Structure formats: C-alpha cells, structure tokens
Structure 1
Amino acid sequence: MLTKFKLTIATLFATLVVATTAHADHHGMKKDIVDVAAGNESFTTLVAAVQAADLVDTLKSDGPFTVFAPTNEAFAKLPEGTVEMLLLPENKDKLVAILTYHVVSGKVMSADVMKIDMATTVQGQDVKVSTDNGKVMINDAMVISADIKASNGVIHVIDTVIIPE
C-alpha cells in the first residue's frame, strides 16, 4: 500500500509551527506534513527533493506518517554536488529511496521514540533509535526538534541526512 515517501532554527521553527497551527485550527483546517515543511525556510531543500521524487501527494495523504526531516543545513553536510545529482530525473529512484528512509508509517511521538531501539522505514530498512544524555539519535542524526504535529502525522527535525545501506 505505502510504497513511496519522504519528508533549525528551533525557536523560530517552533514559533512558526505554533502560530500557523493556531491560525489553521481557528479556521477549521490543519496543515499536513508537506504544508508544514513548505511553510518553513529550514526545509526548502527537503521540499524540493520531495517534489522531484513525486512524493508530495503521498505525504499529503491521510497517513499517519512520522517524518525525520533533515534541515537545509543537514543537506549541506552531504558531499558537494550530491543534492544536485539526486535532483536529476535519472536519479529519481535513488532519491525516493533516501527520502522514504526518513519516513515511518504511523504517528510516533517523542515519548514513543524513547521506548524503541529500531523502527522500520517506508523504504523497507530499519533505522536505529537511541538515546544518550537526553539526546535522541536516528542512526547518526540527532533529533533537534520533536513532535511537530501535522494533520497526517508528526515531524521530528534531524541535523543529518540519513542514507540507507
């Protein structure tokens, strides 16, 4: 059923999410994962990648999904030219694999993350979940902001792009 997927200035991001969520809730609507990401300047690279991979409709669907969302700074840590290479149409399958490796089916809040040591991604491989001195790690990526709610799931912001084997 689910075969494709993906999706800081912590204070600014939290303020923006709270403000847009409050505004959206007041008007009887709530933003989905794509809308939340697209509404924040820290995720322009992620949003471009999701568009290039044709995953927008999937991540706008009912879900629920848990997205470990890398920031622009996380993408910038990749070797020079990697992002541009992945955005080329001929590399779409590789991009889809990377993005879907950042998505878990279901809504996994931070309280739940603390109780698990592994999660199976939509891509099919597992990610390692660990905690150390109050820091939550997804493989080698640190969660820098957690529990950003969307109408179809939750976003946890990470500081590194995680790559499947």
Structure 2
Amino acid sequence: MGRKLRTLLPTVIKPMEKVNKHLVAEHLKKQAQYYNVHTRQQTTLQPDATVRYRDHRSRTWEPARVLDQVGPRSYNIQTKSGVLRRNRQDILQSREPPHDLTPDPVETTPRQPQLRTSEPGDGDLLLSTRDEVAANPPPQYTTRSGRPVVKPLRYRQ
C-alpha cells in the first residue's frame, strides 16, 4: 500500500519511493489551468453605485446602493430594509437611475383592542375582538391546488 510499515518483523515490500515534488507541482498547475478555463474576474464596484442584490428569501433581485467595499469580494450595501453585507457574486451592477432607499416607517405603538360597553349605564366592559371571533367562523383551509380541507369528525369541536 502507501504506508511505511513500522514492525519488527522482516518484510519483503520495498520502501516507498520518493515523490518528485517538481512533477507534482507541475501536475497541480495543469489541473488548475483546466479547472479555471471559464472563470473571470469580477469588476470592482464604486461607492454610491446603483446595483441590484439577490434576496435569498424572496428569490428576487432588489435595488440597492453601494456604501463601501469591506473585503476583496464583499460590499456593504444600502437597501430599503437597512445596511447589508453581500458577496460580489450576489450583486449586479445596474444602469438604472438611483432608487429611493429610505426605510419604510414602522409602527412602534402596539394596537390595543377597542373596548365598548353593552349598555350605556352598565359597568361591564366587553372586548369587541371576542365578539368578532365568536360571530365569524374561522375561514376554511384550502390546499395549494384549491381543494378545501375538511377535518375528520374526531378533530372537530
């Protein structure tokens, strides 16, 4: 095989032959040449350039603006959702006019259910959301193909 045996028993196998490092390096260089036949260098992006980046969640290309180069292949970009760091492979240079990338306003105050009284003089307060849930049955669940899903009797309430 390829290993040198470390035993006290006499062996018939001759020791491993020395490998010519020059031939191995030449072989690796030749392999690298064939492997990299169709590769190309990515162009560098300038700050404030209009680009599109790959959004992996929605699988679409969204508009953005380059802020700065962080590493040899990564950039900080300004999007509608904020500042992201993306690899150059996920950024396309665009010839579009600059987009408005101000973040969408986010509502900070949580909504509270409206309270109403059952009668004008009565002190009992009821939540309107409970009345709406009791009055409206839950919507019927359908599959992607449009078939309505009906629960078995043992799971119905």
TM class by shorter chain equals under 0.3
| Rg larger for | 2
Q: Which has the higher contact order (CA 8 A, sep 6+)?
A: 1
**Normalized per residue, which structure has more helix?**
1
The normalised TM-score by structure 2 is 0.19
The normalised TM-score by structure 1 is 0.18
